[in-house]
Amino acid sequence: MTNKQLETRLKVFAYVLVGIFFIILARLWYMQIIRGEHYSTLAEGNRIRRIPVTAPRGIFYDRNGEPLVSSRLSFTVSILPTALTENREEVYEELAEIIGISSSEIKQEVEKSANRPFEPVRLLRDASPEIVTKIEERRLDLPGVIVEEMPVRNYIYGEFASHLFGYLGKISEEELVQWRDEGYRMTDVVGKTGLERVYEKYLKGQDGGEQVEVDAAGRPISLLGFANPVPGNDLLLTIDHKVQLAAEEALDQQLEAMAKSKYPNAKAGSVVVLDVETGQVLAMASKPGYDPNSFVGGISSKELEEMLKNPYHPFTSRVLRVAEPPGSIFKLITATAALETGKVTLHDRFYCTGKDRYGKRCWRHSGHGQQTLLEGIKNSCNIVFYELGRRVGIDELARYARMYGLGKPTGFELPGERAGLVPDRQWKRENFKRADNQIWYEAETMDVAIGQGALQTTPLQMASAIAAIGNGGTIYRPYVVQKVLSPEGEELKSFQPVATGQLQVSPDTLAVLRQGMQDVTDPGGTAYGAFAGFPVAVGGKTGTAQNSQGDDHAWFVALAPIEDPEVAIVVFIEQGGSGGGFAAPVARKVLASYFNVEQKEEQAAQKASSQGAENESDGGQTPSQEQSAPEEEPQAQELPSDVPALPPSNNTSPEEQEEAEQLDEG
């Protein structure tokens, strides 16, 4: 090789080296400057795990500051996508065997989070210690699987106020799109129903995070950094824990006892207690219920299916979403209309022989004899109120019913409240097709006058109406949240009583109604057997409403103490028969709790009155009185076949269907 050839080759080699150098330099520049952050993240991802730390949700307190719903720490099984190896399918299979979730579901959840590879995919919340132990034992075979300590919801008293509190479920894709700008992630759980849903934005805290150095197997070695999560805001409720508990227990006990009575189909009911001067809800119970804790770790498909197929719909709040004829408790509104329109005085006399000239019957087939208005309320005499309905007419009856707030939602915080129905001439014209069926008949007015026919109300509507009788005529919007508080206790938002209407009635009329209610619980009244010996003067009204789907429904409403009312209470038992015999005793137990009646004193009083309460019905017989059959409202006039169907309480409503869909998402 000549020198010239050697020199040429050296030059070529030098050019190649320089070219390679510039290529390497360009690549380094691209990796360090253009993609530096990306590769830095990948490098750290092999050694450092960034794990979001979920903030605990806000606490629910009762009116006295007692926690009702809180958060607790639990184990959560998650997968970190960046730590998965090529054998991820084997990891899915092995993990599925441990946690009881199919491998296909695990794979699907991981794939949903493909655009967030550094966020843990949370698969099982509130995992048992046994599951955690199995995972730790197989740690080397489960790369990418981690166990986190996270706060989960703790419904301290189980089914207690479950319809009011609601439950949590995994965020849906629609919710994620809707709330994406507010910091929500695919792995979050959110409120699905109840207060959890309505106050979701207040209750959700601000998540923190931690940086953890891990070894090749993904096991934590050291904590490199930590940002504290900020807990959610708290809710101070109007609920009184003791009164709510008494309502839940009394309703449970009564339904259990009725399984062995002549009303074995009485499987559902509700109780609501209001402060008459503010509309604050002191208790709101609905049965059957459910335990929101079932949803904390993810409810099983089998358990959810059983709950959804339950014919008594445990997810339905019967205080808000069941509208039924109120029966004889509506007679208080009929009496209001008659007094205010001058159609009756306290001196007017009616004569009850057991049926009127139109063939409509009183519940007491032998008749009540001569009756005044007050005696008609006390004895719940149908004949008196048939006549008052005729005198007043449907237009005035409907006007006063709406004045009391019936026929429209009360405005309570929770969604899905039924409006009920106040039927009148216009309603018939709008809802019947044939011209002859659009005529309003006097017999229909008489049915409405005793709380039957097409009339429908919810327990919450009736509670609001009865509270107005007790407070001088103001209709308040019922509410259950007093304040929203920061985790440090600072008041962020408060709620005050809101008057939504005013009864245009005289104080004298309200005084007559309260006197009539007091007579109902006095000797001879239809609720005397339930309240004999009770140390607080209670005014009440019993009701038995016919039910085309089965046995009659039982109603009872009350004000206490009747001389200066503090609380209004409504008890409703589906297919419970007699309001005086079965609904009123529930009210007594709840009021005993509210007024701190000592248990021994209460037991002695109940024992003393047991003879009077024996075979008690809305007839309210005492030992010295003639025994009679339970109050039975006469059959309402049969409506023509083209009237729009009104859904009975044991049918699935659109709101329930929507709730079922939310459950499936959760």
DSSP string, 620-637: ---TTSPP-PPP-PPPPP
Beta strands in 314-394 (DSSP E): 350-352, 369-371
Predicted pLDDT of residue 41: 57
The pair of structure tokens assigned to 468 is 């107005």
CA distances from 602 to 240, 273, 530, 594 (A): 20, 20, 12, 13
Q: Within a domain: residue 118? A: yes
Under 8 Å between Cβ of 608 and 532: yes
Region 136-155: what's the mean pLDDT?
86
The whole-number average pLDDT for the span 303-328 is 92
- Is 524 exposed, middle or buried, given 0-12, 13-18 or 19+ CB atoms closer than 10 A? middle
Looking at 237, 260, 289, which one is the last position of a domain?
237
Same domain for 223 and 273, yes or no, is no
484 falls within a domain:
yes
**Domain range for 376:** 241-613
- Whether residue 215 is found in the same domain as residue 330: no
Q: Residue 36: inside a domain, yes or no?
A: no
Give the chain's domain count: 2
DSSP 581: I
Residues 425 and 537 occupy one common structural domain:
yes
Tell me the Ramachandran region of residue 403: left when phi exceeds 0, alpha when psi lies from -120 to 50, beta otherwise.
Answer: alpha
Q: Do the domain assignments include residue 628?
A: no
Q: Can you read off the two tokens belonging to residue 581?
A: 């015999």
For range 27-34, the mean pLDDT? 78
For residue 475, give the CATH number of its domain: 3.40.710.10
CATH number at residue 194: 3.90.1310.10
Given a contact cutoff of 8 angstroms between Cβ atoms, the answer to whether 240 and 283 are in contact is yes
Q: Is residue 15 included in any domain, yes or no?
A: no
Above 80 in pLDDT, residue 42?
A: no
Residues 62-73 pLDDT 10s: 999 999 999 998
415-448 pLDDT, tens digit per residue, is 999 999 999 999 999 999 898 889 999 999 999 9
Residues 525-561: tens digit of each pLDDT: 999 999 999 999 999 999 999 988 899 999 999 999 9
On whether both 368 and 263 belong to a single domain, the answer is yes
218 and 252 assigned to the same domain: no
d(CA 497, CA 207): 34
Domain end among 237, 269, 291: 237
Instruction: Annotate 11-37 with DSSP letters as a single string.
Output: HHHHHHHHHHHHHHHHHHHIIIIISHH
Mean pLDDT of the chain: 85
pLDDT tens track for 290-309? 999 999 877 777 888 888 88
Mean pLDDT of 113-131: 79
Q: Based on the domain organization, do 229 and 290 belong to the same domain?
A: no
Is 266 or 79 the better-scoring residue by pLDDT? 266
Q: Which helix (H) or strand (E) holds 169?
A: strand 168-170
Does any domain span residue 547? yes
Burial class (CB in 10 A: 0-12, 13-18, 19+), 466: buried
The number of C-alpha atoms within 13 Å of 534 and in the hemisphere containing its C-beta is 30
Provide the pLDDT for residue 626: 31
Q: Are residues 316 and 225 in the same domain?
A: no
pLDDT of residue 366 exceeding 60: yes
The answer to whether residue 374 is domain-embedded is yes
Domain assignment of residue 660, yes or no: no
Question: What one-letter code names the amino acid at 237?
Answer: L
The span from the CA of 473 to the CA of 505, in Å, is 7
Does 181 share its domain with 72? yes
